[in-house]
Amino acid sequence: MVLQEKIQMILKEARTNIFGQDELLESIIAALVCEGHLLIEGLPGLGKTLSVSVMSKLCDLQFQRIQFTPDLLPSDLIGTMVFNQMKQEFSTKFGPVFTQLVLADEINRAPAKVQAALLEAMAEKQVTIGDKSHKLPSPFVVLATQNPIEQEGTYNLPEAQLDRFMMKISVDYPDFEAEKSILGLKHSQTDLKPVLNQNDLFALKEKVEAVYVDEKIKDMIIRMVHATRPGSKFFSKKYDGAITAGASPRASIWLYKIGKFKAFMDNKDFVTPEHILSVIPSVLGHRVIPSYEAQIDKLNTRNLVTAIAASVV
């Protein structure tokens, strides 16, 4: 079975458990293939945790769910040194982050020091316990869910941490038919059989990396990212006062990588402008910092970056 067919089979199988969240399911596969981290925002009860759990089973990956709470400590996440009285020495007790797929549930309910501990794991693919650094397994992907900031007991994620996420997906309520389908759901997750394995994921990664990106597309990606930065020659004057800080070079890297993934999913061996434009809101929306005035006016950052990107194609 070719790899594209396996991905379609995974999506088809996942849709028997999760209804009306197609963008989320495809984004989880993109995160696994591109080895990027995914931030999933939405109200409780919309199937965010279930989606991650189902996809981990279908891709046959080691999976750990960590519930983030205000009293969580960094050692609960990465592990700690434990003193063995029999041997009179310290040994390392590894935390739940030592896995391939981490679900950081309600990440914005934990204090800053816990988020900082996760940041090292996300950025360096390693963690430090005591005075030793330990490598994390490959692939290592963090899929984090967060409740909207307006909800009780949530903390804003710092900009440095938001930038580590490849994409931020906003999950909305399912439509009428999808929600009606949920009522008759009889499947249990124990029925799920793995469709992909780790070798398939590495093969997928190679196939995606082989997709051709023309120099003009690369120039377009850089123009789009530069156009979000006040002070850049590509920044439009009509957005003066709306943006405090634009997207970082990480945004260019992820637009390039996910553009290749989108082309692969489209059965194309080259990237088109449409592939890049389709992921602009998810890749740039959380990286552009709106000004205080824009926040007061409730300006939608995702719509703003889409308009900016479209203006420089």
For residues 183 and 263, membership in a common domain is answered with no
Which of the listed residues 202, 237, 254 is the one where a domain comes to its end? 202
On whether residue 85 sits in a domain, the answer given is no
Peptide bond into 111 cis (omega under 30): no
For residues 163 and 298, membership in a common domain is answered with no
For residues 173 and 54, membership in a common domain is answered with yes
For residues 186 and 230, membership in a common domain is answered with no
Which residues are 165's β-sheet partners?
Answer: 37
Q: Report how far apart the first and last C-alpha atoms of the chain are (Å, whole number).
A: 37
Residue 162: give its domain's CATH number.
3.40.50.300
- Tell me the residue type at 52: V
Domain count for the chain, please give it.
2
Question: In the prediction, which pLDDT does 153 show?
Answer: 66
For residues 150 and 286, membership in a common domain is answered with no
Structure tokens at 26: 């495809």
For residues 63 and 172, membership in a common domain is answered with yes
Helix (H) or strand (E) holding 90, with range, is: strand 89-94
Which of the listed residues 166, 182, 202 is the one where a domain comes to its end? 202
Which residues are 84's β-sheet partners?
Answer: 89
Question: Measured at the alpha carbon of residue 143, what is the angle toward residues 138 and 145, in degrees to the nearest 5?
Answer: 165
For residues 163 and 296, membership in a common domain is answered with no
On whether residue 89 sits in a domain, the answer given is no
CA distances, 288 to each of 238, 285, 306, 310, 313 (Å): 16, 6, 12, 16, 19
For residues 20 and 166, membership in a common domain is answered with yes
pLDDT along the chain (313 residues), means of 10: 80 81 86 89 79 84 87 84 80 84 86 81 83 84 80 73 88 81 68 81 88 92 90 82 86 93 90 91 88 82 87 82
Question: In the prediction, which pLDDT does 59 show?
Answer: 85
In degrees and rounded to multiples of 5, residue 86 shows phi and psi of -65, -45
For residues 220 and 165, membership in a common domain is answered with no
Helix (H) or strand (E) holding 181, with range, is: helix 176-183
Question: In the prediction, which pLDDT does 5 show?
Answer: 82
On whether residue 222 sits in a domain, the answer given is yes
Q: What is the DSSP letter of 247?
A: -
On whether residue 46 sits in a domain, the answer given is yes
On whether residue 33 sits in a domain, the answer given is yes
Beta carbons of 91 and 82 less than 8 angstroms apart = yes
On whether residue 80 sits in a domain, the answer given is no
How far is it, in rounded angstroms, from Cα 276 to Cα 289? 21
Which residues are 90's β-sheet partners?
Answer: 83
For residues 304 and 176, membership in a common domain is answered with no
For residues 62 and 185, membership in a common domain is answered with yes
Which of the listed residues 183, 202, 221 is the one where a domain comes to its end? 202
Residue 246: give its domain's CATH number.
1.10.8.80
On whether residue 88 sits in a domain, the answer given is no
For residues 174 and 247, membership in a common domain is answered with no
Range of the domain at 157: 3-72+98-202
- Tell me the residue type at 224: M
